[in-house]
Each structure stands twice: as structure tokens, then as C-alpha cells.
Amino acid sequence: MLLTDTHTHLYYETDPEKLDVLMQRCLDNHVERLFLPNVDIASIAKIDAMVEKYPQHCFAMAGLHPCDVKEDYELVLDEICESIVGREIYAIGEIGIDLHWDKTTLDIQKIAFSEQIKWAKDLNLPIVIHCREAFDEIFEVLEKERDAKLRGILHCFTGNVAQAKQAIELGFYLGIGGVVTYRNSGLDTVLKEIPLANLVLETDSPYLAPIPFRGKPNESSYLIHIAEKLAELYQTDIEEIAAVTTANSKMIFNI
């Protein structure tokens, strides 16, 4: 069995010994592929260090998180774009729009999102989208950018059935994480209308830990609990969940 965490910030752990323990727990729980989304300039070196240390298991992305889109975003985007040269990058992410914390930056978030989508198209890479309280705004941008090259993952999907189907129709897989294990999330009801073939697994570690670890720091090894919940929802076994979602991740990231 092979599980793939398509979205983890495990690189936030900078203690080498603690990181080794976290990675060993991943391997003990069959989580052998970890995709690392970038959020800002400072994240680049941390991701590269983790990829260098665990080259068989860790894969880098490059992008500017919407919460980090500030007045100097153009300079930051230039630096992140330049960092891609000479590195193995498997997606542009995480990028998108977040209106939970600051609605005043919506206009520049849209500009940054669109620019990074263009990077992905130029590099023939998928995008990994962060969307918080911004489905309408995200879809507005995606519809403008719609073409054969537009593809990727809608990370931490918590929308409704119509939003799920719209994302899929646009060429995106849905990233399913710990929220699916929460009693009142409603995501279990949504997924009854969505085939497993449209899903990938993620933890978003260290955030959004699944039951039974809710409220505690998340880690990629906890992906197995998310897979177990999906096995229950889709009335199958965890091996099937692992096989389908890992195959989907290989389609997306081409590795």
C-alpha cells in the first residue's frame, strides 16, 4: 500500500532529529510520497533542504500563498519565479485567494493568482489552489484562464456539491484532508455525489489534524486516518483508497 500526501508543510519542523521521527512515522504508516507547497520566499530553502534529505519521498512546489500577497507582491513573485530555475518543481502552489483574514487585498490577490497560473502553463505544471471563503472569486479567475493546460488540485476542499462539480469540470482534483473526519463538516455528504476518481489525499500538516488528533499539530503520518474515513464513506478498503488517490497524484504531478 502506498499513500500520497499531496499537500504538507512538514518542512516547518526545522529540528533534524524531530523531522527524522516525523518522516519515519510517515513510512511506518505507508505515507511515502509528500508534496511540499511553497508559501513565501523563506519557505524555499526549507523545502529544498527537505527534498535534499529525503529525495525519494519529498517533492517541491513553488508559489506565493494568497495570505502573503502584500504591497511588495511583485518583487516577491519575481524572486519566487527566479528560484524555479534549476530546481525540480512539480506544481505551482500554493496559490489562490483567501478572504478570511483580509478582504482589502482581493485585487492584488487576483493579479498574483493569475500571474502564477501563467507560470504553470508556461512550465506545463499543475497548480495547487488555496481557497478560503472565495469560491466565487477563484472560479472567476479560473474561467478566464480556462484552457487545455489548466489543471491541478483544489486544496483543502470544503465546498458544496455544485462547487465540487465545477472544479472537476475545470480540470481539478479535490484535495481531501482532516476536515472529512469532523462530525459536522458536511463533507461526507458532498462526497457521496463525487467519485473517488476525482480525489486526492492531503494533510495540510501542521494544520487541520484529523480525528482522533483534532486540535493538535497535524503531521503527514496522520494521512492514514483520512484514508480510513474515505474507505468508510466509499464502502471499500483502505488499499483501494490508497491505490486510486496515489494514481491520481501521479497523473497530476507526473511522478
Kindly list the averaged pLDDT for each block of 10 residues, start to end, along the chain of length 255: 98 96 98 98 97 98 98 97 97 97 96 98 98 97 97 97 98 98 95 98 98 97 98 98 98 98
Give CA–CA dist 6/46, Å, rounded. Answer: 17
Residue 159's φ and ψ, nearest 5 degrees, are -85, -170
A 10 A CB-CB count for 183 gives 8
Comparing CA positions, the residue from 55, 57, 66, 46 lying closest to residue 223 is 57
Which residue type does 168 have?
I
**Helix (H), strand (E), coil (C) string for 123-153:** HCCCEEEEEECCHHHHHHHHHHHCCCCCCEE
Summarize pLDDT for 177-216 with one digit per residue, the tens. 999 999 999 999 999 999 999 999 999 999 999 999 999 9
Give the three-state DSSP class for 252: helix
Residues 6+ apart with CB under 8 A from 224: 3, 29, 30, 31, 238
How many structural domains is the chain composed of? 1
CATH number of the structural domain spanning residue 103:
3.20.20.140
Summarize pLDDT for 112-124 with one digit per residue, the tens. 999 999 999 999 9
**Residue 96, domain extent:** 3-253
Give CA–CA dist 5/116, Å, rounded. Answer: 23
DSSP H or E segment with residue 16: helix 16-28
